[in-house]
Amino acid sequence: MGPSIIARNYAETLLTLGERHGGDATVDAFGASLRQVVSMLEGEPRLREFLETPRIDAEGKKRALRAALGGRAPDLFLRFLLVVVEKRRQGLLPEIADEYEALVDVLRGRVRAEITLPGEADEAMRQEVVGTLETRLGKKVVPTFRTDPSILGGVVIRVGERTLDGSLRRQITGLRRRLLQTRLPAVAAS
């Protein structure tokens, strides 16, 4: 079984626990706790090394997690995390968090979109872009706006694996390619 399938299984388990033991509020609390743990792992290399090293046994790691997260994270989430450590899957926590977020998005009928513009957009523009996407996709859109002056104009939207490229740069590149491929008629020498 590949790492992404294992991460998906753990994420599904955590989501099921959240739904059974408190519904939406618990699902959200678990997601926030999971993101917080992943953020700590990404921001503190020594913590990541501590959790991933085989030199420290699972019980030592579990004691440290109980001390660090006890009272700060939901008890059921902490127990889930301890099982992840016991099964030596702590290296998959970032993937588990990504899978968990994707499952919650499906459950709530929403999609995440990365929207790249050539410059900062005002609130009205942001709402217009999100509204148009929601209409086209038929789902609630959770946007992340980015700026990239190299696209010159227009917009590039990434939703999952799909990319909608309406940038001026792409249009100019396409025009250039078509012009270079066009054969001009021979001109007779006089």
Flag whether 169 is in a domain. yes
Percent of the chain predicted with pLDDT > 70: 98
Write out pLDDT tens, residues 10-65.
999 999 999 999 889 999 999 999 999 999 889 988 888 888 888 889 898 889 88
Please enumerate in sequence order all residues whose Cβ is within 8 A of that of 109, keeping only pairs 6 or more positions apart, or say none.
139, 140
Residues 43 and 87 in one domain: yes
* Boundary of a domain, candidates 53, 88, 106: 106
Among the three residues 66, 90, 106, which one is the final residue of a domain in this structure? Answer: 106
Residues 8 and 101 in one domain: yes
- Give the domain range for residue 141: 110-181
3-class DSSP string for 61-106: HHHHHHHHHECCECHHHHHHHHHHHHCCCHHHHHHHHHHHHHHHHH
Judge if 167 and 89 occupy the same domain.
no
Task: Let me know: does 81 contact 41? Beta carbons within 8 Å.
Answer: no
Residue 102 belongs to some domain of the structure: yes
The CATH number linked to 150 is 3.40.30
How many domains, the chain? 2
- Residue 81 within any structural domain of the chain: yes
| pTM attached to this predicted model | 0.72
